Amino acid sequence: MSDSKVTASHLGRLALIYVRQSTLSQVERNRESTARQYDLVARATELGWPRAAVRVIDDDLGVSGASAAGRTGFAGLAAQVGLGQVGIVVALEVSRLARNNADWYRLLDLAGMTDTLIADADGLYHPAMFNDRLVLGMKGTMSEAELHILRARLDGGIRNKAARGELRRALPVGLVWSDDPAGGIVFHPDEAVIGVISAIFERFATAGSVRATWLWLREQGLKFPLQPAAYLHGHDIVWSEPTYHGVHNVLTHPAYAGAYTFARTRQQRYVDEDGNVRTRRTKLAQPDWGVLIEDHHRGFIDWETYLSNQARIGKNIRPMAHQPGTGAIREGCALLQGLATCGTCGRKLAVYYDGAHKSTPGYYCTGTGQLVEGRGTRHMRVGGAAIDTAVTQAFMAALAPTAVQACVAAAEAVEHGHDTAIEQRRRQVEVARYQAARAERRYLAVDPDNRLVARGLEADWEHALAALADAETDLARYHAARPKTLTDTERAAIARLGGDLDAVWAAPTTTDRDRKQILHTLLDEVNITICRDRKGGQGRLLLRWKGGASTELTVTIKRSPPAIRTNEDTVALVRRLAGHYPDATIAGILNRQGRQTARGLTFTGGRVQGLRHHWQIPCHQRSGSDQQPDGELLTVADAAVALGLATSTLHRWVSTGFIAGEQVTPGAPWQIRLTDEIRNLFVDTAPAGWLATLEATLAYGVSRQTLMQRVKRGELQAVHVRTGRRKGLRFQPPIPQPGLFETLQSAIGAV
């Protein structure tokens, strides 16, 4: 069989057979389609290609053709087509090559430029011919549209079923789909699983944070159930150590509140750093969920409790710097953390701590008041010791009538929490006993002569018996540590203790976290308004209790005296200058820089001396010379005498950069480190041939300022003649350069 479009040029190149199935399940089940694609080798040989020139590309089996990303086979095919190594590309249909027009037209462009044919079950096409390209383009468009239609149908059916709450998807541990097709979501049949999930919700209601609930599980030694994703309808459970992520998922998943949800995440496409198209899932806010059916099934908590739990968890985020904490109780002795609000703007107050050991609390508002020198000032910053004391006294007075009942309820809560842990341990013992019995039955059922299997089953049985022994020992130990039920004598003792709440509050065993937790049980907010004067001020506190009641208090706020302290930069500068100058000179330097004392006065020698004595700064020690390893450090006047120059001349050379000068700080006197190199710059007689300033500007063709810049950068050498009638600078003459005529003559002579 031959075709008029096939030429000798095509037959001299390769024939590529492209084989692809969209998913691995299609590769496994639709074997007839895969076999038809492999049979296309015979189609290529019928068109005239020898069998040795036919190559099969099947690297993309099980990969979708919606994109070229991840399809190494298609990428290799396109590369060979672009290099002109392919005479024909054969596929069962166009959709096998690409279901994306961007990838499809890119292949068509390469095939048209390299004279490559494309064949499918319907015919043979040349992409360089208009009619064939038109047909191939329509097939590619229909292939992409077909994929869109298939996706739309499948997605529409899934969403329609999910809208009725009948779409069966993987559930979190503790919930399973009923075996009855008409049934819905039910609790897991294992009581141990239900027990630990219920314990998590009960503990969170008391602890108030995910982390505290997780730590409680670890402290009680309780295991956490895991349900592998493969068991969508099964009941297999794996027990492991509780993790924060697992506890957080239990407390935040809406299925535990009896709600059916769908499309809580959204898939987004993006381009990574390597230019590859990637996908990621992002969580959506509750109003953006695709489906939300409340009271769809029986839950561990109701929907209102779930919403309050989410709001509580959302507030438990650790605040950033200079941000108030509004969530979980944290460390620190500021008792009103999360409760105090600003009486001016209503914001939550942030906490700060003063003192050597950061033991004095205070509160400040994160909002800014008026602008002072371009910076916003806090309209509230107040010490918290007096405020905390006043709120504590008001809280004790309100709690006194119910103190006894609160103490008894606290003791009963401890007993209840311990009973919950014991019940969960009993369930774990039952699970371990069942696993041991099952391992025993499996071992007894095996043929004794099959020692390879018997030894493995025997090891499993021994492992199950050891796990059972550990579970029973743990149950016995924890049961022995259970708090005893309160007797009448103990209740009377608690009643006496409840009558002395102040002693309980101030007890060393009561932590600041405990105190703040107690305040949060009754208080919703403490609004603080400060009215100050020169002597101090008064704080008006408005305590808003849970339930709507409120209490007003007045607290006297003492005004702390302003700290008199010299600027740290000034102290550091005095420390540097003291090793070089006397106190009077240092005072002049500080005044020239506009610095002042702690009381806003100018500096004198005596004030500098007092500052040095306070900060234990040693004074300047006069000596014959301050010889340094790299030269003698002198003032400008002393250096001028040593060099035989006028002081004004040396000042001029320092300002122009002819010689380097040093300053300890801006405003301090200039100093010169007199080295042999600087001494060699000042001579009595200039070297032969060196030019004066005017002659040097003409010779170099630049200005005097440019000459000095070159000297400063080390590009030009110069000396200063200090004797004779023509005193001043002498510059090194330029090196003669050959002219254009001499250069041409040298080049001709070389030839």
589 is in which domain, residue-wise? 568-615
Q: Which residues contact 456 (CB under 8 A, 6 or more apart)?
A: none
Percent over 70 (pLDDT), the chain? 81
- Is residue 669 in some structural domain? yes
22 is a catalytic site residue: yes
Indicate which CATH number applies to the domain containing 224.
3.90.1750.20
**Whether residue 151 is found in the same domain as residue 196:** no
**Residue 368 corresponds to which tokens in the numbers above?**
């800014």
Bridge partner residues of 124 (DSSP): 119
Q: Give backbone dihedrals phi and psi of 386, rounded to 5 degrees, phi first.
A: -65, -40
pLDDT bucket at 414, cuts 50 / 70 / 90: low
CA distance 506 to 502: 6
Q: Within 13 Å and on the Cβ side, how many CA atoms surround 124?
A: 16
| Mean pLDDT value across residues 713-725 | 77
- 619-654 in b/e form (b: 16+ CB < 10 A) is eeeeeeeeeeeeebbbebebbbebbebeeebbbebb
pLDDT at 560: 59
pLDDT at 325: 59
Question: Does the pLDDT at position 1 exceed 60?
Answer: no
- Minimal CA–CA distance to 341: which of 508, 140, 540? 540
- Is residue 331 in some structural domain? no
From the list 22, 95, 143, 198, the catalytic residue is 22
Question: Does the pLDDT at position 356 exceed 60?
Answer: yes
Bridge partner residues of 363 (DSSP): 351, 382
Question: Tens digit of pLDDT for each residue in 652-699?
Answer: 777 766 776 666 666 667 777 777 777 777 787 888 888 887 888 888
- Is residue 2 in some structural domain? no
**Whether residue 48 is found in the same domain as residue 140:** yes
**Whether residue 345 is found in the same domain as residue 359:** yes
> Length of the chain, please?
751
- Please give the C-alpha separations between residue 186 and each of 198, 242, 537, in angstroms, as whole numbers: 15, 23, 63
pLDDT at 613: 86
- Is residue 709 in some structural domain? yes
Per mean pLDDT, which range of 73-82, 347-356, 557-566 is the poorest?
A: 557-566
- Is residue 736 in some structural domain? no
> What's the angle, vertex CA 490, arms to CA 486 and CA 494, rounded to 5?
110
More confident residue, 13 or 646: 13
**Whether residue 242 is found in the same domain as residue 271:** no
Question: Tens digit of pLDDT for each residue in 250-286?
Answer: 999 999 999 999 989 888 888 888 777 788 888 898 8
**Whether residue 101 is found in the same domain as residue 134:** yes
The domain boundary, picked from 127, 160, 193, lies at 160
pLDDT at 747: 47
**Whether residue 529 is found in the same domain as residue 589:** no
| Mean pLDDT value across residues 324-340 | 74
pLDDT at 412: 54
> What is the radius of gyration, based on Cα positions, of the chain?
45
| Mean pLDDT value across residues 65-87 | 87
pLDDT bucket at 455, cuts 50 / 70 / 90: confident
Report the number of secondary-structure helices (H) and strands (E) in the chain. 27, 28
- Minimal CA–CA distance to 686: which of 724, 712, 713? 724
pLDDT bucket at 750, cuts 50 / 70 / 90: very low
**Whether residue 382 is found in the same domain as residue 466:** no
**Whether residue 120 is found in the same domain as residue 28:** yes
**Whether residue 383 is found in the same domain as residue 410:** no
pLDDT bucket at 195, cuts 50 / 70 / 90: confident
DSSP 703-737: -HHHHHHHHHHTSS-EEEE-SSSS-EEEEPPPPP-
pLDDT bucket at 407, cuts 50 / 70 / 90: low
Question: Tens digit of pLDDT for each residue in 17-38?
Answer: 999 888 888 888 888 888 888 9
- Is residue 591 in some structural domain? yes
pLDDT at 723: 76
Question: Does the pLDDT at position 726 exceed 80?
Answer: no
Question: Cβ distance 107 to 91 under 8 Å?
Answer: no
| Mean pLDDT value across residues 532-554 | 75
Question: Does the pLDDT at position 481 exceed 80?
Answer: no
pLDDT at 741: 46
- Is residue 44 in some structural domain? yes
- Is residue 516 in some structural domain? yes
Token look-up 């550091």 returns: 572
Ranges assigned E (strand) in 355-445: 360-365, 368-372, 375-378, 381-383
Q: Which residues contact 728 (CB under 8 A, 6 or more apart)?
A: 692, 693, 720, 721
Indicate which CATH number applies to the domain containing 39.
3.40.50.1390
More confident residue, 4 or 321: 4
Most confident of 198-202, 398-402, 533-537: 198-202
Question: Tens digit of pLDDT for each residue in 129-179?
Answer: 999 889 998 988 888 888 888 888 888 888 898 888 888 888 899 898 888
**Whether residue 363 is found in the same domain as residue 450:** no
Number of domains in the chain: 7
**Whether residue 472 is found in the same domain as residue 415:** yes
Ranges assigned E (strand) in 407-549: 523-532, 536-545
Question: Does the pLDDT at position 248 exceed 90?
Answer: yes
> What's the angle, vertex CA 134, arms to CA 130 and CA 137, rounded to 5?
135
Judged on CB neighbours under 10 Å (0-12, 13-18, 19+), 729 is buried
**Whether residue 419 is found in the same domain as residue 482:** yes
pLDDT bucket at 740, cuts 50 / 70 / 90: very low
Judged on CB neighbours under 10 Å (0-12, 13-18, 19+), 350 is buried
**Residue 709 corresponds to which tokens in the numbers above?**
């810049």
pLDDT at 490: 56
Per mean pLDDT, which range of 124-138, 177-191, 593-607 is the poorest?
A: 177-191
| Mean pLDDT value across residues 228-248 | 74
Amino acid at 322: H
Per mean pLDDT, which range of 116-120, 129-133, 216-220, 421-425 is the poorest?
A: 421-425
**How far is Cα of residue 733 from the mean position of the Cα atoms in its chain?**
64
Q: Which residues contact 324 (CB under 8 A, 6 or more apart)?
A: 338, 347, 348, 349, 350, 351, 366
Amino acid at 438: R
**Residue 439 corresponds to which tokens in the numbers above?**
């391992």
CA distance 681 to 656: 15
- Averaged confidence pLDDT in the chain: 79
Token look-up 């209503």 returns: 346
More confident residue, 256 or 598: 256
Question: Cβ distance 523 to 399 under 8 Å?
Answer: no
